[in-house]
Structure 1
Amino acid sequence: MRWGLSLAERRLRETAARLARLVGRGADPPPSGGRETPPVAIHRAQLTALVDRGVRILAIFSGIHELRYNHADQLFEVFPELRGRVDRAYFADANHTFTELAAQVELIDTVARWMARHHG
């Protein structure tokens, strides 16, 4: 229960900060926690270089970052040229560490099927 309250509190703070920025109150962006996304042009160049070399990529996203990533095809809205070249899996109900057993099973099944299809 405590975990659920912490999650709800964090989401409320993130939403409040986002709303404050949208209305121009100048709230600081939420801390990145050390996970900074590269600029789009650099990220595009890196992903493209990998797939051009034949590297198979399964990008996995969880729904915990709903303010930043909130639907399965969002990756291809930013990088439409990678559709069909990068596989993706989106777990709307999972947190970023997949602590729920059902989410773990779904993640393992997804990765195992992907591995068998591409490397089996």
Structure 2
Amino acid sequence: MTKAVLRNAFAVLLLILLVGCSADPKVDDGTNIENGIVSDEYNEARKIAWDYILEMGWDKHAEGDWQSAEVQVVEVGEHYELFDESYLGEEVLEVSFVDVASTLVGTPEILVDSETGEVVGYLPGE
């Protein structure tokens, strides 16, 4: 009987080791957290948009900095202020920032071409 118990205990231990080692605990959604900073494939677009916000003097309306920006892929519509009308109907990155609570005019959403890394337009803050 002790042989059977030892064999079963060994089998359970082996099974736990196999299952535990085969599961990858990281979720590969393209997002990493390093030193408390969210990092993904859009960090460069965040930085580009933030530099534009600073250049235009709109940073007073934004809470935080480039690291707090949200990025999404959008199709450019007519409601955007474009520097080049050829982007109308094209997909670009839209970078948006959280507004400070007391602001009357929100921070504009910045459009960045993901291939060239250039700001191609913006959506004025409301």
Decide which structure has greater helix share: 1
TM-score bracket for this pair, using the shorter chain length: under 0.3
TM-score by length of 1: 0.23
Q: Which has the larger radius of gyration?
A: 2
Which structure shows the higher strand fraction? 2
